[in-house]
Amino acid sequence: MHSTTVLIIGAGPAGLAAAARLRQQSIPFEVLEQSQAVGHSWRLHYDRLHLHTIKELSHLPFMEFPDHYPRYVSRQMLVDYFDAYAKKFDIRPHFGEEVAAIQPGEAGWEVYTRSGKAFAAPHVVVATGLNRVPNRPHYEGEEKFKGKIIHSRAYKNCQPFSGQQVLVVGFGNTGAEIALDLSEHDITTCLSVRGPVNVVPRDFLGNPTQKTAFTLAKLPTWLGDWLGAQVQRLAFGDLRPYGLTPSDLPPARQLRETGKTPVIDIGTVDQVKAGKIKVKPGIESFTEMSVCFEDGTKEPFDTVILATGYRARLEDFLPFTDGLFDPYGVPKEVVGKGKYEGLYFLGFDNYKPGGGLGVIRQDSEEVVAAIAAG
């Protein structure tokens, strides 16, 4: 049994932020990471991905992005930044260690890995992220389908799909951007959108929407929500003729109440309006060569890309979760209370405006302050 003051599970941005703050306060810690590199998930994302949040509000604690980085940082630049961050703060995770179980112990908490190692610590920071396990829905008849069905995690770029007819399932940020990537390269693209959508422009009248969101958040909620809806209307007009039904919830209210980020548009809506991306409803079933939709239509496809999101799935290794999760399976608190005292959940707080990395920077301060006080 290895003992430490703080054990951090996960060496993504949340784990790195916590480690850097602990290092600055000279609090001993160890980091467990199931992959072989920091920021592992970001290494897997599709090639064209950039942050939708501006660089000055998206860096981790104590280290801003380099001056030569663009306003919206690319995936590869972010990976390079994570590597440099780990080096600067001497963060050396135990790589290849996947957590199998966390349970109460004499020292506070005990953590066991699949390789057989065991760690004891009074404080455990769970930083495994919202995107730990791909959400893979199953559809009637899919086993008969002669084409390919892949999760969006397997998508890197459009090259393997040249000359194909492709269906992208899901109109979150990933689905919208993959559909954009395909359509911009003249690949026949459809987008399956099951329900109402909330779309906001990444920039409006030359200003990043992220900054606008911070401004609106300072106003009374009813006024901020109304202004946000007006920005949507001015930016996009009525999208219903194109198959996109607007959500009843304004973007900021949706974030506050559900933790679900609106789609940050960087060109998908224009492609939909131009007919380069065809919007279809939800999937009913598959045949050998086609997909049948909920409106009774049927179309052939070579590949179906499921941009159907991820799950945190903390229940896979926590001994109990009663009272821990909100209705969406996400921890309700950053600092655990009651029987969860000594556990901290960093990187799951998606109810605040400003983007995930900025929220991690804020919440990591709260976590380490609680650890120092304990």
CATH number of the domain where residue 220 is located:
3.50.50.60
The enclosing H or E element of 210 equals helix 209-217
72 and 184 both lie in a single domain: no
DSSP calls for 113-131: ETTS-EEEESEEEE---TT
Domain count, the chain: 2
159 and 299 both lie in a single domain: yes
Query: Do the Cβ atoms of 279 and 272 come closer than 8 Å?
Result: yes
155 and 264 both lie in a single domain: yes
- Determine phi and psi for 315, rounding to 5 degrees: -65, -15
Task: Confirm whether pTM is higher than 0.85.
Answer: yes
Domain extent for 113: 2-132+312-373
Give CB contacts under 8 A, 24+ apart, made by 295-301.
299/165, 299/167, 299/190, 300/165, 301/147, 301/164, 301/165, 301/166, 301/167, 301/190
* pLDDT values of the chain reduced to their tens digit, one per residue, 374 residues: 999 999 999 999 999 999 999 999 999 999 999 999 999 999 999 999 999 999 999 999 999 999 999 999 999 999 999 999 999 999 999 999 999 999 999 989 999 999 999 999 999 999 999 999 999 999 999 999 999 999 999 999 999 999 999 999 999 999 999 999 999 999 999 999 999 999 999 998 888 877 877 777 788 888 878 888 888 888 899 999 999 999 888 888 888 888 788 899 999 999 999 999 999 999 999 999 999 999 999 999 999 999 999 999 999 999 999 999 988 888 999 999 999 999 999 999 877 776 899 999 999 999 999 999 97
217 and 349 both lie in a single domain: no
